[in-house]
Amino acid sequence: MALQIEGVVQADHASTQNHQNSGNFLQHPPVRRLSNEHTLVNSQITAQNHVGTERNWRHLNLQRRLTRNLRQHYTSLINWVLVLLFTIFLCYYFYEVLIAEDPQVGKLNPNPSRTNFIVAVLAQLLSRPRGALMLEAVQLAKSTSALGTARMLFTPGRHHGWTVLRTTLPILVIVLGTVQKFGAGVVYEIIPYNGTLPIWGGLTEMNSTVLDIIPTSTMAVYFLSWTANLLSTPQFIWTLPPTDQCTNDCVTYIQPGGVDITRIRGTNSSQTLLETGDFQNADAIQIYNAPAIVTEFYNPPNDLIFETDECEIFTPLSNDAIKICIKSPDSETVVIAWTICPSAIYWNQSCMKNLSWTEEIGQATTVATYKQFTTTSYYGKNLSIINVTPTSARETLPINVNAFKSMWAKLFNPGNDTSAVPNPFMVEAVQFELGFYLRLETDDFPNDQQSPLQILRNFITVPLQFSTGALLYANATINDGFDIPDDMQATASAALGRYRWKARLWTVVTWIGVAGTLLLSSGGMILWILFQDPTEVNSTAFPFVDWVSHADSGCSFSDPRVTLANQMHAEELAEKNTCGVIECFGKKRGYLIRVRCGAHENCNTTHVVFVVEKEEV
């Protein structure tokens, strides 16, 4: 796409001057003197003719310049138009692929040809009639290497601007291609369809009254199923980065509720979201603006001490025991700890006889919960969370200490609870599972402190996750007293899901802006060239041929300048290196001039020759 002109052209103004001087022949022939009135009229007519003639010749001269320049530079103009169309398409394509709705994935790099085109257009500035510095001509030539151009930075002069421009434009291409990758990546894009459906969604705070009506065996099933792995279950849990206020090995989880717990809002509150059939073939399911619970866990203080009334030893139906403690140091957090009966005492069946094990704390954690509204996306195939987008600020959600105590009492000490009689082993299974996990970690993996701590966190999270399901169950089976909170009113929609390469908007806008600036500047240069005096030299695709063919005319002439060939011989440039060539040219200015060569003055044989000033300017 590079342009072909590489010289400084001294335009031939002779024909233009002749046109301007020919105005003398267009004057009216002399007429006899008439009256003063007639003389004044004739003078006005003559002046108008002069103005009109001069305007016509200016117009013809401009038309001549434009026509000759178009004929000479039409390839450059065609290239620029093609690049313009290509750039418009490329900008539109980049925006559609990287920003707008388009499923394609891949890395897109801008084509550097437009920048090479700009460099070639800048070379056209050598066609200025007043000539150009030789260092400008040399460094803007296509045959000059980037290293040679960069070397000119160490030589002072006005050519520095072009040196920096040519050196940085290729770098700009790399930067311009890289900027779109900044912050970009493959994302799973979700596009809703078929409108929204009113639902009850999200989670609400624990309700002690609701927990009282849930059968103990049912409660035991949930603890038995989720204590080992709830916080690693993607259907219910999404990990968040900790806030600045959450320190001391803080981990943060958000529980948006899940699709399973969602109910259709209407007369039948027990109808689940998946019963409608609207989401059967959906790639994704989105639930909008539903309340979620944010849970923060971090290490308790080192001087942690529980009072007697803050702890309780639970011993279910078989010989085992677990001590659970809970205290609220402030209005926003609670500290929960537990200790399992160790193996030696357990196998001796002395957990309730030898209580020395209760003097130590096995695992402990500080818990803080918050309420936050979110829009959550789930995969349609397995209902796991894709992403969670907050739609409100966090609000402190105080933990109900009494609700936790009542729940543990019901779970581990069913007493006369007849609901546990049909399957009493469910309660015992919960105790056995906890004892097995905790004693296994203590006996066989004493250095692993994280796994038993994570089990405690799971144990705490289970009622936060599933107590809302108990409320929905109570609302559907009991007439009064268990209303669903109004803030659980939300909407859901089916959505298409697809992977794509996504860029940040500012990177694409930056790319379009820089590309447009380069393109418009090159177009302005071409437009400027078209209105200059036409050059007298054609160029080829072989720069060294163009330079050599005009290096000498074969004629002698008297001029304060010397031909390029004579300059090279006089300075012995063939024996010099890059620095020597730069030093030789210095601030000398080069021209393309037309010289006559013949035996007499009327000889019309002319040559266009490249000449160099003998002295620096």
Q: What is the pLDDT of residues 462-500, one digit of tens each?
A: 999 988 988 888 888 876 768 889 999 999 999 988 777
pLDDT at residue 122, as a whole number = 34
The pLDDT score that the predictor gives to residue 43 is 57
List all residues 6 or more positions away from 509 whose beta carbon is below 8 Å from its beta carbon: none
124 and 193 belong to one structural domain: no
**Residues 390-410: what's their mean pLDDT?**
91
pLDDT score, position 74: 76
Structure confidence at residue 439 (pLDDT): 94
What average pLDDT is seen over the chain? Answer: 75
Cα distance between residue 313 and residue 431, in whole Å: 12
The pair of three-digit structure tokens given for residue 471, joined into one six-digit string: 């409320």
Neighbours of 173 (CB within 10 A): 20
Residue 372: the pLDDT is 96
What confidence score (pLDDT) does residue 209 get?
81
Question: What's the pLDDT at 304?
Answer: 87
Q: What is the residue range of 194's domain? A: 186-502
Taking 80 as the threshold, does the pLDDT of residue 53 lie above it? no
Closest CA relative to residue 223, chosen from 443, 464, 56: 464
With a cut of 70, say whether residue 614 has pLDDT above it. no
Structure token digits, residue 67: 């026509």
* 274 vs 201: CA distance, rounded Å: 13
Specify whether 111 is located in the same domain as 196: no
In angstroms, the CA 370 to CA 591 distance is 79
Q: Are residues 525 and 588 in the same domain?
A: no
Give the chain's end-to-end CA distance (angstroms, integer): 34
Give the residue from 455, 452, 439, 409 showing the smallest Cα distance to 314.
Answer: 409
Model confidence, pTM: 0.62
492 and 580 part of one domain: no
Report the pLDDT averaged over residues 150-174: 66
The residue ranking higher by pLDDT, 31 or 6, is: 31
Q: What is the reported pLDDT for 204?
A: 92
Closest of 428, 287, 382, 400 to residue 334, by C-alpha: 400
Residues 497 and 508 in one domain: no
pLDDT on residue 121: 41
Return the pLDDT at 369: 95
Instruction: List the beta bridge partners of residue 132.
Output: 590
pLDDT at 148: 63
Residue whose C-alpha is closest to residue 514's, from 57, 118, 240, 228: 118
**Res. 340: pLDDT tops 80:** yes
Of residues 47 and 488, more confidently modeled: 488
8 compared with 406, residue with greater pLDDT: 406
26 and 100 in a single domain? The answer is: yes
Tell which wins on pLDDT, 371 or 186: 371
Give me the pLDDT at residue 12, please. 38
**Cβ–Cβ under 8 Å, residues 65 and 9:** no
Angle, vertex CA 449, rays to CA 445 and CA 451, nearest 5? 80
Least confident piece of the model among 59-73, 112-126, 134-148, 342-356: 112-126
Range with the lowest mean pLDDT among 87-101, 380-394, 585-599? Answer: 585-599
Compute the distance between CA of residue 590 and CA of residue 596 in angstroms, rounded to an integer.
19
The two structure tokens encoding residue 224: 């038995």
Instruction: Write out the two tokens for 451.
Output: 């796994």
**pLDDT surpasses 70 at 556:** no
Give the chain's domain count.
3
Return all residues near 537 (Cβ < 8 A) that are at least 6 apart: 7, 9, 546, 550, 592, 608
Query: Residue 559 has which token pair?
Result: 């001029």
Band (126; pLDDT cuts 50, 70, 90):
very low
Helix (H) or strand (E) run with residue 94 in it: helix 36-98
User: Residue 7 falls within a domain, yes or no?
Assistant: no
Q: Which pLDDT score is estimated for 145?
A: 61
* Rg, Å, the chain Cα set: 44
Position 137 pLDDT exceeds 50: yes
Q: Is the pLDDT of residue 242 over 60?
A: yes
Asked whether residue 291 falls in the same domain as residue 391, the answer is yes
pLDDT in tens, 245-284: 777 789 999 999 999 989 998 767 778 888 888 888 899 9
Residue 541 covered by a domain: no
Identify the band that residue 15 occupies on the pLDDT scale cut at 50, 70 and 90: very low
Closest C-alpha to 317, from 224, 423, 462: 423
Q: What percent of the chain is predicted at pLDDT more than 90? A: 28
Q: Is the pLDDT of residue 319 over 90?
A: no
Co-location of 155 and 255 in the same domain: no
pLDDT in tens, 195-219: 899 999 999 988 878 887 888 888 8
Which three-class secondary structure state does DSSP give residue 61?
Answer: helix
Top-confidence residue, 342 or 561: 342
Task: Give a yes or no: residue 235 inside a domain.
Answer: yes
Pairing state of beta strands 251-255 and 284-298?
A: antiparallel
152 and 194 fall within a common domain: no
pLDDT band at 508 (very low <50, low <70, confident <90, very high): confident
> Which run of H or of E encompasses 171?
helix 160-179
Domain presence at residue 374: yes
Residue 223 in this model has a pLDDT that exceeds 90: yes
175 is a domain residue = yes
Coil, strand or helix at 32: coil
Q: Can you tell me the distance from the alpha carbon of 139 to that of 155, in angstroms, rounded to the nearest whole number?
A: 12
Are 286 and 413 in a shared domain? yes
Q: Answer whether residue 6 is part of any domain.
A: no
Q: Which residues pair with 74 in a beta bridge?
A: none
User: Which helix (H) or strand (E) is 150 found in, with range?
Assistant: helix 146-151
Any idea what the Cα angle at residue 549 is, between residues 543 and 552, rounded to 5°? Answer: 130
Residue 3 domain-assigned (yes or no): no
User: Which pair of tokens denotes residue 565?
Assistant: 């060939």
Tell me the C-alpha distance between 347 and 319, whole Å.
9
Q: Are 418 and 284 in contact (CB under 8 A)?
A: no
- Look at 4-18, 285-299, 379-393, 394-408 and tell me which has the smallest mean pLDDT: 4-18
Tell me the backbone φ, ψ of residue 201, rounded to 5 degrees.
-140, 165
pLDDT of residue 17: 38
Across-strand partners of 495?
Answer: 192, 284
Quick one: pLDDT at residue 606? 67
Asked if the model's pLDDT at residue 430 lies above 50, the reply is: yes
Q: How far is the C-alpha of 139 from the C-alpha of 131, rounded, in Å?
A: 15
Q: How far apart are CA 222 and CA 260, in angstroms?
A: 14
Name the pairing type of β-strands 333-340 and 284-298. unpaired
Pair (491, 512) in one structural domain: no
pLDDT of 370 over the 60 cut: yes
pLDDT at 298 over 70: yes
Asked if residue 570 is part of any domain, the answer here is yes
Which class for 43: exposed (0-12), middle (13-18), buried (19 or more C-beta within 10 A)? Answer: exposed
The H or E element containing residue 606 is strand 606-613
176-180, 431-435, 613-617, range with greatest mean pLDDT: 431-435
Picking from 367, 457, 390, the residue whose alpha carbon sits closest to that of residue 256 is 390
The answer to whether residues 318 and 426 belong to one domain is: yes
Other C-beta atoms closer than 10 Å to the C-beta of 380 total 20
